């Protein structure tokens, strides 16, 4: 597989500023990947290194966003046994390359990560999240790389970004079918970070994500706003003005 990728021009053509060239390259890559029922981890990592530098070389915000969405759409073309290894290679690549991205290129990679988190949740939501083995495997991937609680080699910047968008992308995928989500399992990486991270700011970021209004609503809890309003009413109930006494 590696030699096939290395000898094919479609990887570098994905970064072309010409839409027709870029679309043709994406179609070629999609066809290439969809025909494989198994791809070795090393080959996936090499593939993702190439895709990473395609994004690196892509200029103009609209082209960058289009490429990010196109790359995320590859998940839908993969055969079942390739999806999770492909996503695992994506996260490992983002963690490995994160510190070298730099401020000028960061926005497009943040957008790519958002697109991939969304594509991951959308894949898991197929058949109403019923493939618990796939859900468990993906949560393990998340806990091992982007939201790893203890490995200091994982950049905190990556952790913060994933924590920042995690609930957003769950909400987009779940829509009005929140009750179908295996919510407790999906939130485990956040709970683990809140308890086990060695960095106070990471623990706080995880705590804030778990206290998000939407999460509290999904869990059947009252919002903090509602609770504080109730407390204020209770505190003030004894001081209510009763009018002028005779």
Q: How many other C-beta atoms are found inside a 10 Å radius of the C-beta of residue 37?
A: 10
Cα dist from 239 to 183, 229, 235, whole Å:
42, 16, 8
- pTM, two decimals, is 0.87
Place of tokens 């999906």: 186
When computed from its CA atoms, the radius of gyration of the chain, rounded to whole angstroms, is 22
Q: How many other C-beta atoms are found inside a 10 Å radius of the C-beta of residue 45?
A: 16
Pick from 58, 66, 71: nearest CA to 104: 58
Digit-coded pLDDT (tens) for 222-238: 655 555 444 444 455 44
94 touches 49 (CB < 8 A): no
Pick from 235, 236, 214: nearest CA to 225: 214
Digit-coded pLDDT (tens) for 163-185: 999 999 999 999 989 999 999 99
Angle at 205 between CA 204 and CA 206, to 5 degrees: 90
Domain ranges across the chain:
2-222
Name the pLDDT band for 148 (thresholds 50, 70, 90).
Answer: very high
Angle at 213 between CA 209 and CA 219, to 5 degrees: 90
């Amino acid at each position: 597989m590696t030699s096939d990728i290395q000898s094919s021009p479609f990887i570098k053509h994905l970064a072309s500023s010409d839409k027709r060239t870029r679309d043709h390259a994406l179609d070629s890559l999609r066809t290439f990947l969809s025909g494989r029922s198994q791809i070795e981890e090393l080959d996936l990592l090499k593939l993702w290194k190439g895709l990473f530098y395609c994004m690196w070389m892509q200029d103009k915000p609209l082209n960058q966003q289009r490429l990010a969405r196109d790359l995320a759409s590859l998940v839908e073309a993969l055969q079942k046994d390739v999806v999770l290894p492909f996503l695992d290679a994506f996260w490992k690549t983002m963690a490995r390359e994160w510190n070298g991205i730099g401020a000028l290129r960061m926005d497009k990679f943040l957008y790519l990560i958002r697109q991939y988190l969304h594509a991951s949740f959308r894949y898991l939501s197929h058949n109403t999240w019923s493939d618990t083995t796939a859900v468990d495997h993906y949560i393990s991937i998340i806990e091992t790389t982007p939201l790893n609680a203890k490995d200091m080699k994982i950049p905190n910047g990556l952790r913060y970004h994933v924590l920042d968008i995690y609930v957003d992308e769950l909400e987009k995928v779940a829509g009005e079918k929140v009750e179908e989500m295996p919510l407790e399992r999906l939130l485990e990486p956040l709970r683990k970070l809140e308890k086990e991270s060695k960095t106070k700011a990471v623990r706080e970021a995880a705590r804030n994500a778990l206290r998000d209004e939407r999460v509290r609503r999904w869990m059947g809890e009252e919002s903090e706003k509602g609770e504080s309003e109730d407390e204020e009413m209770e505190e003030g109930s004894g001081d209510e003005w009763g009018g002028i006494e005779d």
